Structure 1
């Protein structure tokens, strides 16, 4: 998602160069054992159809003065709107040493506050560990300054120590996540250049270090949340399955599969259905979620053409009402809407090199911060 927001290759300034204290991560597990482990952990994954919203921007927008409004114009806290519209889950990203520009406010104190708010309202949380200071996606997986220059073993130890501390802090405030993403849209791996997936062994060592840390900080496998591995390949079912086959063959830990689906980049609903069906067939033990999707309520600023519905509030609603049955019938287990609260960004978005704000055209709130009809599109 992020490379489509801006393909600038920018890096946040003023990052800490201090390396965190690290310990050795747990040793790698064999591929067969990990498959058994995945099947065991999968029993703790949510069995209900998951309806979720990514709320990563909401807290910062409210702090900047955005007042989100329900369909009838009533002002409400962002996460109360989530609850009132019958969403059971939120998703929030966690960055490392981001400087607050380009929409990347999500340091650990910010995320801890979001999770307190979510849990107090009875919402479950998918924690998206991005392991970078910058947007992560198939074209951007940049190592934060604190870990620059580390070799593979040291970097894996850093991932383990950082992740274990994050989960420990969240558990200490009684807001343990209900599902954890290790990386975001990790088609190309994470923590480049060491963790590029062109060397799947290196990538898996880093990814498994994060999963091991979630397990250990949670008090063991029986108490840990399921681990999501999330890529953006839904336009090609064979390539999507092949990616996970290679990841698992290299010993990669995955309990649930997360996909991005945006119709302007990843094909039509038939492509999506084929990908979900193929994944369920190849990995019957793994539930499949759309970790990201979105559609336009207003004309896009990127000149994307051939979209499946008009770029209007009703077109946005129609998109989501069509999407849910497609994912369900293919065997998927839920959908998270990306960028729902990306409204009135002039108040909170400091991004001087971006020439447009296309993401705001896909929010679930219009330019007056009033909910669009599509807020009920996943019902």
Structure 2
């Protein structure tokens, strides 16, 4: 990703960060306030997946960050979340990232910590050397550059990756075939929309199928579910367009994965409508593979955040930008998922809730997500971590 990254170039692809804020508020948008949040409804339905992407955690600890639970006790972040009820950890894997960032070895080590904390594994291979999202999906430098070679490589790589997790006693429970693949994968070979207006559905879906085959071959006797992950939370038309095509082209998948950041992906009502529609239309369960919400508009490292006071938050009256408002947001997300038809709202994964100031999105850069975390700037847990509870 570039240093000028926008959330539609990065966080919109989750997994990344932009320098400035960057979705202007519509003229008729409700002004943001810091008023107290109303009491949040507490869903009584258990969600089967309640977790977080903690891929930056080892780097943050190496930078000296320490985390404290709601009582102020210093504990590893994954244990704090697990104590509150989190049962899944999402792990990002890059091929050849800058030193210290999320490569295979780092992900394997973090998986061991997840297992020790009682968490299952959602694996997120980006199939890139660094950030992949809807605005960029570059082929790893060491990989082939032709369709036949890439089809073989994505299958063998995914198979080997899944086997490595199983071999150390931390088998993968859910894997997404690429990160926010709305616009394709392994560009330009698997890029879906080309500058000349053409669409490469055959190449794109062929690569998805090969990755899925590799994952299933690598899991051995462990039950592994596969997920297709896009970034259209509350956008029903875009979701239908993508998954209608997946069905048409015969791409196998077990779970529909969505990113949901309300500043980019719509209101809570739109999210509810889209998830309910997807379950009915495709007969598959849905998972919010990435979700976050600001607890402040302050900037923890003073170097720029992707979401600032000018961001458009469609439900800010319900969820003011305060720790209490953030907690209310997560409770509402739980409620939406709990009401998906036939129990098909699997749950949610908070995106990098531990990414407090200390580590940049790339070496030397800022932590432009530090007001979207579930820990404050000092590493103290915020009330929203209670959303990981089981009931």
Displacement of 1:322 after TM fit? 1.3
Farther off after superposition, 156-165 or 257-266: 156-165
Corresponding residue for residue 351 of structure 2:
338
Specify which of 110, 120, 124 is matched with residue 120 of structure 2: 124
Equivalent in the alignment of 1:251: 250
Q: How does 1:23-172 map to 2 (within 5 A)?
A: 49-100=48-99, 105-147=101-143, 150-172=145-167
Count of residue pairs the alignment pairs up = 331
Structure 2 distance, partners of 1:280, 1:305, is 28
> Relative to total residues, which structure has the larger helix share, 1 or 2?
1
Q: Deviations over 1:208-254 (max 9, x none)?
A: 111111111123xx644000110011232132122111012112121
User: CA distance change for structure 1 residues 353 and 6 in 2, over 3 Å: closer, same or farther?
Assistant: farther
Q: Contact 1:301/1:358 (CA < 8 Å) preserved in 2?
A: no
Find out whether 1:3 has 2:10 as its counterpart: yes
What are the within-5 Å matches in structure 2 for residues 219-298 of structure 1? 219=220, 223-284=222-283, 286-298=284-296
The higher-RCO structure (CA 8 Å, 6+ apart) is 2
Following TM superposition, by how much is the alpha carbon of 1:311 offset from its aligned partner in structure 2, in angstroms? 1.3
Aligned residues: CA RMSD: 2.0
Which residue of structure 1 lines up, in the alignment, with residue 382 of structure 2? 372
Alignment check: 8 A CA contact 1:138 1:187 kept: yes
Q: Deviations over 1:33-66 (max 9, x none)?
A: xxxxxxxxxxxxxx95211111111122112211
Alignment-derived partner of residue 301 in structure 2: none
Distance (whole Å) between structure 1 residues aligned to residue 96 and residue 177 of structure 2: 17
State the distance in 2 between where 1:244 and 1:7 align: 28
Q: 1:296 & 1:6 partners in 2: Cα distance?
A: 14
> Relative to structure 2, which stretch is displaced further, 184-193 or 222-231?
222-231
Partners in 1 of 2:337 and 2:47 — Cα distance?
14
TM-score under structure 2 length normalisation: 0.80
**3-state SS of the aligned residue for 2:262?**
coil
Q: Which runs of 4+ in 1 moved over 3 A?
A: 4-8, 350-354
Q: Gaps spanning 5+ residues in structure 1: where? A: 9-46
Aligned counterpart, 2:35? none
Partners in 1 of 2:384 and 2:138 — Cα distance? 34
